[in-house]
Amino acid sequence: MSAQRSTKLRLLALAAVALIASLALVACGGDGGGLSGSSNENATTAEGGEASGSLKISNWPLYIDNKTIKEFQKETGIKTTYTEDINDNNEFFGKVQAQLSQGESGGRDIMIVTDWMAEKMWNLGYVQKIDHAYLETVFDNMLPSLKDPAFDPGREYSVPWQSGMTGLVVREDLAPDVKSINDLFDPKYKGKVTMLAEMRDTVPLVMAADGVDPTEATTEDWMNAIDKLQKNVSNGQIRRFTGNDFVQDMIKGDVVAAIGWSGDTVQVETDNPNIKYVQPAEGCSLWSDNMLIPVGAPNSPAAYEFMNYVYEPENQAQITEYVNYVSPVKGVKEVLIKQDPEIANNQLIFPSDEFTENCFTQISPPGDEAEQKEVEQAFQNVVTG
């Protein structure tokens, strides 16, 4: 009996020691408050110069062909580590925020995020300015329409990687009359419609369908559009919120019309001619993913070198041919028209001005961080209803 009790006592003591040790650890670790009030006021400019050494790039999956990196290494002698570790802007932000707030990039020299996230990171002081003097090829070859975006006038810190359109994707054989976002709410297609789980893709299009100009929308407009989505979730109109997997549902015909991305549609069209991207009557949402040089990037000269390299039309053509998104580089069409005329004449890869006439640049909800978060949460509550 007494032996048993002393065992119990010892176990208790062990537990107490464990708890105290963990408390001590917390005390040593500080409160983890992070840097508050960091901003871009004293943003540094990424240094240029002779490029050598090694380069580390973070990008999204399937966003480059498999030759470009090898050829870049061969041509420049810069040892390049290319990682596909970005699946979602928010998720990536959560992953790197702690390091960036301490002025460390985690070894990354280039990271690629969507417009609104680029702006957010810039506002927090996580991104360096770029020196146009070292980016001659980039600015010589960049499409004029991309040179002065609202979120980064004059391209002070961002260089587009690829652009794309968010619009309607339709099974032409099963839903031939879907021409506008409002057609997605037609009871005829109940349970056969999906939308994207990314708020900035879906909500502005729904607003535009109701006659609200997304670029001027108030928080209330956003909330109204989210309410409309909630109603269509409750009555079973919307089947799911998806990522790139909207394509699979569509191939099988479970879904006949969706809000989706242009690039994914191009990739699937060749095998499934019935699946078509349709430019919504109310316009599409235009966005870019951008190369940024984070604070603490170990080798910014090499980052400049890489940016210039992918802005050479010949090199860019190789990427475009593989990823099928809208290229930000002039002259790529001319290169491809000889090699691959089908791609060169595709409106989704080289859209004409008429094709994107009604389109607007993708935007975030208005207001400060807290207001934006509220809208994001409201949308998430619809998605995880």
Partner 1 sequence: MTFRQRLTPYGLLAPGLVWLFIFFVIPMYFMAELSLKTGSLETGYQLTWAWNNYTDAISQYSTQFWRAFYYSAIASFLCLLIGYPLAYAIAFKAGRWKNLMLFAVVAPFFTTYLIRTIAWKTILDDSSPLVSFLKTIHVVPADGRVLATSAAVIAGLTYNFLPFMVLPLFAALERLDRRLLEAGNDLYASTAQTFWRVTLPLTMPGIVAGVLLTFIPAAGDYVNAIFLGGTSQAMIGNVIQSKYLVVNDYPEAAALSFTLMAIILVALIVYIKFAGAEALMGEDEEAR
Given the rule CB under 8 A, which residues bind partner 1? 14, 18-19, 21-23, 25-26, 31-37, 88, 90-91, 93-94, 97, 101, 124, 191, 233-234, 238-241, 248, 252-254, 369-370, 373, 376-377, 380, 382-385
In 141-249, the DSSP E strands lie at: 158-171, 193-196, 238-242
User: What is the SS3 assignment for 114?
Assistant: strand
Q: Tokens at residue 87, please?
A: 């699946």
Q: How far is the CB of 176 from partner 1 (least distance, A)?
A: 19
Helix H or strand E segment including 56: strand 54-58
Q: How far is the CB of 373 from partner 1 (least distance, A)?
A: 7
| Half-sphere exposure of residue 132: CA atoms within 13 angstroms, side-chain side | 8
Q: Give the Cα separation of 318 and 320 in Å (integer).
A: 6
- Name the burial class of residue 18, with classes exposed (0-12), middle (13-18) and buried (19+) by CB atoms within 10 angstroms of its CB: exposed
Q: How far is the CB of 6 from partner 1 (least distance, A)?
A: 10
| Half-sphere exposure of residue 173: CA atoms within 13 angstroms, side-chain side | 9
Q: Give the Cα separation of 258 and 171 in Å (integer).
A: 9
Q: How far is the CB of 334 from partner 1 (least distance, A)?
A: 41
In the complex with partner 1, the residue whose CB is nearer, 126 or 304, is: 126
In the complex with partner 1, the residue whose CB is nearer, 98 or 133, is: 98
In the complex with partner 1, the residue whose CB is nearer, 22 or 272, is: 22
In the complex with partner 1, the residue whose CB is nearer, 93 or 355, is: 93
DSSP state at residue 106: T
293: nearest Cα among 171, 135, 126:
126
Q: Give the Cα separation of 256 and 274 in Å (integer).
A: 10
In the complex with partner 1, the residue whose CB is nearer, 45 or 380, is: 380
Q: How far is the CB of 184 from partner 1 (least distance, A)?
A: 14
Q: How far is the CB of 70 from partner 1 (least distance, A)?
A: 29
In the complex with partner 1, the residue whose CB is nearer, 132 or 240, is: 240
